[in-house]
Amino acid sequence: MKCLIDNQLPPALARFLTSRGVEAIHVTEVGLAEARDRDIWNYTLEHNYVLVTKDDDFLNISSQSPGGQFVWVRLGNCRAPELLQAFDRVWSATEACLNKGDRVVEIR
């Protein structure tokens, strides 16, 4: 699995997911730090990434195109250590949902 981490989330999340066997990169690593949401979504489709984002705009964007998956992080504002702890608790279940084909997986 490959994940692209959106701008509202820290690069540390990409490193965490990489440690879990996921090929994960942050938008800053691929020149998308200032990109529009539509461009980020198109990048995920073109490169077969799952987008990990806090941005609910992707609900609408994803509904307008076939394919693509994203993890919608709905944890509110928290520091990186708390975010990584939350991902550690739920990542196995999240990954299972993505592997079975769910287009949107929420993390709360």
pLDDT beyond 90 at 22: yes
Q: Do the beta carbons of residue 42 and residue 87 sit within 8 Å?
A: no
Which residues neighbour 93 within 8 Å (Cβ) at sequence distance 6 or greater?
Answer: none
DSSP state of 90: H
pLDDT beyond 90 at 107: yes
pLDDT beyond 90 at 76: no
Domain residues for 94? 2-106
pTM above 0.75, yes or no: yes
First to last CA, the chain: 21
Instruction: Give 48's pLDDT tier (boundaries 50, 70, 90).
Output: very high
User: What average pLDDT does this structure show over 75-102?
Assistant: 96
Share above pLDDT 90 across residues of the chain, in percent, rounded to a whole number: 96
Number of domains in the chain: 1
How are beta strands 69-73 and 23-26 bridged, if at all?
Answer: unpaired
pLDDT at residue 65 in the model: 87
Place of tokens 């702890």: 85
pLDDT at residue 75 in the model: 94
Q: Do the beta carbons of residue 57 and residue 104 sit within 8 Å?
A: no
